[in-house]
Amino acid sequence: MTKYGICEQSLVPVRKQPSDQSEMINQLIFGDLFFINDIVGQWYLIATTHDMYEGWVDIKQVTEISEDRFEKLNNKQPVFISDIYGKATSLTGQSVNLLLGSRLPEYNTENIILSKGQYKVTSNVQVEILKPSRQNIVDIAMQYLGSPYLWGGRSPFGVDCSGLTQLVFKMLGINLGRDAHQQVETGSIINFINEAMAGDLAFFDNSDERITHVGIMVNNKQIIHASGEVRVDSIDHQGIYNEKLKKYTHKLRIIKRVI
């Protein structure tokens, strides 16, 4: 029988194997919903609803919920935190930290409902899904500017390249795959870089021609991406040029238009 869960902590590591020593391949952020596909000891094998990406989480760090509650939350229009950092506090003084892109369960006039009861949110929220415009894509991405690179990360305090693009589009009601090689399957091809527009996704490959990197076009000459940190660099038909290093760091493979 399928089981269901929700993340009620700020961030929860998702690991490749059911062990604290295993590589972190993803993160849950507050409000993420997931299916529980297996249980091994104190570990759940989960698949997040927005991308069906599998990994292992510590049972102690997540909350199992009923099918009815899962369906209610999954079918409700999402409300997101729109500040880099926020907080929700209960009547008894318990609090949880909220990060940009966190989904607020059963949000209603500043309050949310968690398994521990009602909490009041003290930060700005995005009550309606923003129109998926090119400017909105870039504006949200720019909020992550300067965030450190973290393999598997999905927050302003650590994010990888595909985590950044996924989070940005998620807040606009568009679900992308978790990894760059999955995201490249989305959208239509842009044949020439001078035809690229703000909000287009640019993908880059390695020497084996595997897609290993993705970023968001700011215009047809600049890109915002996570490499060391979330940064804006120059881009041309060859790839990304890092002014500080005075060299190309990523070889352009393809540009895709999602909206």
Distance CA 245, CA 259 (A): 33
- CA gap 70, 76 in Å, rounded: 10
Distance CA 89, CA 65 (A): 21
- From the list 88, 215, 107, the residue with the least C-alpha distance to 163 is 215
7 catalytic residue (yes or no):
no
Residue partners of 68: CB distance under 8 A and separation at least 6 = none
**In the chain, helix, strand, coil percent, each to 5?**
15, 45, 40
Sheet of strand 95-99: strand arrangement = 95-99, 85-90, 117-121, 111-114
Choice among 7, 50, 225, 250 that is catalytic: 225
Q: Based on the residue annotation, tell me whether 225 is a catalytic residue of this protein.
A: yes
Of the listed 161, 181, 237, 250, which one is catalytic? 161
Q: Which residue in the list 7, 50, 181, 213 is annotated as catalytic?
A: 213
Are 178 and 214 spatial neighbours (Cβ–Cβ below 8 Å)?
no
Q: Would you call 250 a catalytic residue per the annotation?
A: no
**Catalytic sites, residue numbers:** 161, 213, 225
